Amino acid sequence: MNNLLFPVLSILSDGKFHSGEMIAKHFNVSRVSVWQAISEAEKLGIEIFSVRGKGYSLSHSVQFIDEKKIKQSIGEMASCFNIKVFDVIDSTNNFLMQEAPKGYPHASCVATNIQTNGKGRRGRQWQSSLGENLTFSFLWRFTKGAAALSGLSLAVGVSLIRSLKKVNMDQALLKWPNDILIKDDEVYKKLAGILIELQGDMDGQSAAIIGIGINLELSKNQITKIDQPAIGINQCVEEKINSNEFLGIIIKDLAEVLAKFESNGFEYFQDEWQSYDALQDQAVSLNLRDGENISGRAKGVNNSGALEVITEDDGIKTFSSGEVTIRKVE
């Protein structure tokens, strides 16, 4: 990676125009070196305006994710967590999947300013861009095996709702099994997603790599790349959130919820999850992995986190996986 890339981006992070000459003088480099850094930023999908006589500018101001600022937000509990921040990485989940078997510390949070190949559910790519998303993964080691972790993604959803409430986002809802939605102009729009990958034994010790992507402020360019309606936090609150402070809040809430989940299972969170359920009593379609499609009315989730659907023919059926959508009823 070009060593000048992030130093130049830090100059541009205020969203104002800065001349190439000024940037070159600041770093004691040539104008060509600045241009090369700008070109690399554009290859990473960063939108940079170049105007003759004015210089370069980002499309909006950007807060960089910063390890020290995250720890300041966490406060006296900061020493309980291992926090690492990358400028650029392909996938924070991939990093932890590779490092966890080597003994990477419990309660680790790996965040990045730019993620080039983020993973979503069912092989999809999670779209992210500099300053527009909060993208990170959290490693939590369980004494229980993977077989005992049913409903984990739902418990993580509850944790994120708690964190969102602390930044005045009271309207967020949960969509089974791992999305956070906002209802905007009568349309449900995706605010955040969760992807959990497990390592270890079914019955022995296990490690969960919890990948989380949260939309902060989506540009028109990024919205066109997302295959469903989406929205950012800053579109929903009066004052822009501080992403480092918010990540500190999330980390503390996650640790509390995961500890409770380990000792009590999902049942402890069932009622709270259902109070945020976007699908409750809605007509839904559920697409299963084998291609079968189930229609019915969502009843909520059971104490293991499985979705309950009332079907016309078979009564209540439960599903532990699947892709669910709200069905329009004529």
Looking at residue 18, which CATH number applies to its domain? 1.10.10.10
Q: Distances in Å between the alpha carbon of 164 and those of 69, 140, 180, 185?
A: 19, 21, 10, 20
pLDDT tens figures, 185-227: 889 999 999 999 999 877 788 999 999 999 998 777 777 777 7
Q: Which residues of the chain fall short of a pLDDT of 50?
A: none
Say yes or no: 246 and 292 in one domain: no
pLDDT score, position 215? 92
- For residue 294, give the CATH number of its domain: 2.30.30.100
Q: How far apart are CA 93 and CA 138, in angstroms?
A: 8
- For residue 201, give the CATH number of its domain: 3.30.930.10
Tally of CA atoms within 13 A in the half-sphere of 255 that contains its CB: 16
- What's the structural domain count of the chain? 3
Rg (alpha carbons) of the chain, rounded to whole number: 21
Say yes or no: 87 and 124 in one domain: yes
Say yes or no: 33 and 129 in one domain: no
- b (16+ CB within 10 A) / e for 17-56: bbebeebbeeeebeeebbbbbbebbeeeebbeeeeeeebb
CB 146 within 8 A of CB 200: yes
* Domain extent at residue 39: 5-58
Say yes or no: 31 and 139 in one domain: no
Say yes or no: 42 and 88 in one domain: no
For residue 83, what are the β-bridge partners?
109
Say yes or no: 53 and 88 in one domain: no
Say yes or no: 154 and 268 in one domain: yes
Say yes or no: 105 and 130 in one domain: yes
CB 309 within 8 A of CB 286: yes
108-115/82-89 β-pairing: parallel
Say yes or no: 198 and 312 in one domain: no
Say yes or no: 150 and 287 in one domain: no
Tally of CA atoms within 13 A in the half-sphere of 267 that contains its CB: 5
For residue 109, what are the β-bridge partners?
83, 138
Say yes or no: 96 and 229 in one domain: yes
Say yes or no: 97 and 221 in one domain: yes
Angle between the N-to-C axes of helices 243-264 and 67-74, in degrees from 0 to 180, rounded to the nearest 10: 60
Q: How far apart are CA 180 and CA 48, in angstroms?
A: 30
CB 16 within 8 A of CB 60: no
